[in-house]
Structure 1
Amino acid sequence: MTRILHVLDHSLPMHSGYTFRTRAILKAQQALGYDVRGITGLRHTAQGPAAEEADGLLFHRTAGIASGLAGYREWREIGLFAQAIDRVVQDWQPDILHAHSPALCGQAALRVARRHGIPLVYEIRAFWEDAAVGNGTGSEGSLKYRLTRKLESHVVAHADAVVTICEGLRQDLIARGTPQDKITVMRNGVDLALFGQPLDRDQALVRALGFEANGKLCPVIGFIGSFYDYEGLDVLIEAMPALIARQPDARLLLVGGGPMEAALRAQAEASPAADAIRFTGRVPHHEVDRYYALCDIMAYPRKHSRLTDLVTPLKPLEAMAQGKLVAASDVGGHRELITDGVTGILFPPDDAAGCADALAGLLNHRDQWERYRRAGREHVETRHDWAVNAARYQDVYQMLPRIRLRKGLGAAA
């Protein structure tokens, strides 16, 4: 049985889009007959033992503290991570190292792969220098931005194979000089085993949130996720007065939290549509489906940026799997997932009036809702089901010995 060690920034039991994609990959690979484990670096901050089982998956942890000036601190972090990977490699003897971005994971794995002659697959979920710009912790073109990009380019150049989650990332790597045949696109996906029959609306929750008017359920537009600036939730709030003018009973439900939460709450309180906007704060992961069940339309008003043009988000796919209508901004990452007028509606980014028009159009044409729902669900089932897509990793893994022989490195032991 082929053993795959996944090298990760963080993992379950922490909850994030990153950990849910990891879980889906590892579970699908288990189903294909691979023996899989994960190892996380210092940025896995949940307390736990040195080796921890979560949801039937085994994860090893890296111990220690990396301190010092920026640059040296990250280099020390990579060193501690590489030492932890090395110990697992010596004990478990995996056949393949499969590192996932950020580049700190890739560089630590690369050191160990070279030392032991193990093939390395490097998977990029986003360019983390662009993600730092998007979440407000970095600036484009800064020294940190350029160093992060350079480190990632180094890992990409020396990995045996590269995987990206979407075409936007693949094309950017090709423009940097990465050979096309070195890159495989493994599209973002949904574990449909977790998205069975959607829950019925919780009537007590409906009443608690005030989602009834004149004895009827209000149409609800929802967003469930992290409140980063690039998500464009300020645009969505700005669109609400124009939407309410055309659909007086419409409500906006914002579930989650993050750096923009205080600013968004203040904006909503000052809005003429304040009475139609509800914040819940963060909710436990096991309760998220209760809030999905309240929503008719899931809105994703991401702002135009390098990050949103290159990277495909997971949330619209989860919404389609749940049988929800999807309205999203017309940025590159959304265009890879949504066909305008077929599986959802696209509207101009950074445009509150355009957002309001799109939402009003969907609410005005309820006779088309079932068509959108069927098309969205079919799209996920045929193109974004992890149970199907993960089989493509077999193609990547199987070509590694040929790649290494061509490079004069020999096949993995």
Structure 2
Amino acid sequence: MARTLVVTNDFPPRQGGIETFVHAMTSRFPADSVVVYTSSEPGAAAYDAELPYPVVRDRARMLLPTPRVAGRAAALARRYGCDRVWFGAAAPLALMGDRLRREAGVRRIVATTHGHEVWWARVPGARSLLRRIGAVTDTVTHLGEATRLPIAAAVGPVAARRMVRLVPGVDADAFRARPGESAVRRRYGLNDRPVVLCVARLVPRKGQDTLVRALPEVRRAVPGTTLLLVGDGPGERSLRRAAAAAGLADAVVLAGGHPHAAMPEFFTAADVFAMPCRTRRRGLEGLGIVFLEAAAAGLPVLAGDSGGAADTVCDGLTGHLVDGRDAAAVAARLIGLLQDRDTAAAMGERGRERVRAEWGWDGTYERLAGLLAVEPGHGGGER
């Protein structure tokens, strides 16, 4: 049985869009055909024990392509008979690809990009590393045109011609709207208030600060509107201060981080989903799987016009794209969605239909499996 070694820093119980992507793929492999090599994480032992395939945790909290880590990856590939490798995020771990070929006889290497590689592509030293990654892999994947163009320019013409689009998916049934009283509304005392939900790491690029600045105007037009922020991160303290300074301490609920399996009940509690992400310090939203999850739940979506967000939100049809720095524009769109419930419901329904038709996980897995297939006599990589 041929096996795939998955090398990644992004694996549950750590939370995030890339973690969801990687786990969704590994869970679709036959259990005896995949091995995961990843970093350490609190709570990992109990989580890993429930999985049907081996997960090997490094002692480090973050894997880097050091000689030690590369040596251990090669040893794992030999031990488990892995002749193909998938790097869950290309940069920087795919730099180990050449050593895996030499020492473990790996014949096929796929490296997936998610958006942060665009920053690498625009910084001279990091750009040269992306070119090395293009040279030692068979395929570098991309999410869409917003990320493909800068990454293709960095990896070089030969690797650019081998780039393939590989996008995350959504289990639409898992996020379907559930009628009846919401447990999340009871838990946080939201009652019948209009709720704007944002699910994202609390960092400036995700735009929670813009939502807080927009909220007073929204509440003047739609009294009682509450902002529910789900996620954790370094921006929590500044968001609490901003809400308190604006007299919004009771109108901004910071719910903290929650497992991905708990997300459907948060979407059920919301009237609108909003994440006015913005391009910041050369970082952008690679795609925004959370926009697709919100659409699958039947919510109208307000997204910042950054990177690949436009691939997930059809402006004016399933939601709105806005300048993530413009609090007035964000407020105007939120007010429209909260006041015109028929239009909002129609946007949510169109978004759900689109997710079901175009963004299934099984199709993504089939494409990845095809990319990892080893052709007879294939040695891979640009030489």
Match of 2:58 among 59, 62, 70: 62
Counterpart of 2:12 in structure 1 is 12
Q: Aligned AA for 1:126?
A: G
**Structure 1 residue 55, shift from structure 2 partner:** 3.4
Structure 2: stretches of 5+ with no match in the other structure: none
Q: Aligned AA for 2:138?
A: D
The yes-or-no answer on 1:206 pairing with 2:199 is no
SS at match of 2:284: helix
Deviation string 1:317-374 (CA, Å, 9 cap, x unpaired) is 1111122221112223211111101111112221000000110111121112332122
Deviates more, 1:351-360 or 1:284-293: 284-293
Deviation string 1:265-309 (CA, Å, 9 cap, x unpaired) is 100011144442222233455543332221111101112333226
Structure 1: stretches of 5+ with no match in the other structure: 67-72, 132-139, 409-413
Cα gap change, 1:264 to 1:185, in 2 (>3 Å): same
**Structure 1 residue 234, shift from structure 2 partner:** 0.9
Match of 2:128 among 133, 136, 150: 150
**Structure 1 residue 407, shift from structure 2 partner:** 6.4
Alpha-carbon distance in 2 for matches of 1:178, 1:53: 43
SS at match of 2:146: helix
**Structure 1 residue 228, shift from structure 2 partner:** 0.5
Alpha-carbon distance in 2 for matches of 1:299, 1:129: 24
Alpha-carbon distance in 2 for matches of 1:78, 1:283: 32
Matches within 5 A, 1:39-118: 39-40=37-38, 43-46=39-42, 52-63=48-59, 78-118=66-106
SS at match of 2:371: helix
Q: So what's the TM-score if we normalise by structure 2?
A: 0.87
Counterpart of 2:165 in structure 1 is 185
Alpha-carbon distance in 2 for matches of 1:405, 1:231: 38
Deviation string 1:213-241 (CA, Å, 9 cap, x unpaired) is xxxx2211011221011011111110011
The yes-or-no answer on 1:37 pairing with 2:25 is no
Deviation string 1:13-65 (CA, Å, 9 cap, x unpaired) is 333322211111112333xx98222111xx4333666x944433321223479
Q: Highest relative contact order (Cα 8 Å, sep 6+), 1 or 2?
A: 2
SS at match of 1:307: coil
Q: How many residues matched?
A: 378
Residues 197 and 229, structure 2, Cα contact 8 Å, conserved in 1:
yes
Deviation string 1:109-142 (CA, Å, 9 cap, x unpaired) is 43112333322112122335839xxxxxxxx98x
SS at match of 1:280: strand
**Structure 1 residue 88, shift from structure 2 partner:** 1.6
Alpha-carbon distance in 2 for matches of 1:16, 1:168: 21
The yes-or-no answer on 1:124 pairing with 2:120 is no
Match of 2:284 among 308, 312, 319: 308
Q: Aligned AA for 1:202?
A: S
Cα gap change, 1:52 to 1:80, in 2 (>3 Å): farther
Deviates more, 1:5-14 or 1:226-235: 5-14
Q: Aligned AA for 2:190?
A: F
Counterpart of 2:28 in structure 1 is 28
**Structure 1 residue 12, shift from structure 2 partner:** 2.6
Counterpart of 1:258 in structure 2 is 233
Residues 257 and 281, structure 1, Cα contact 8 Å, conserved in 2:
yes
Please, what is the CA RMSD of the aligned residues?
Answer: 3.0
Alpha-carbon distance in 1 for matches of 2:177, 2:304: 28
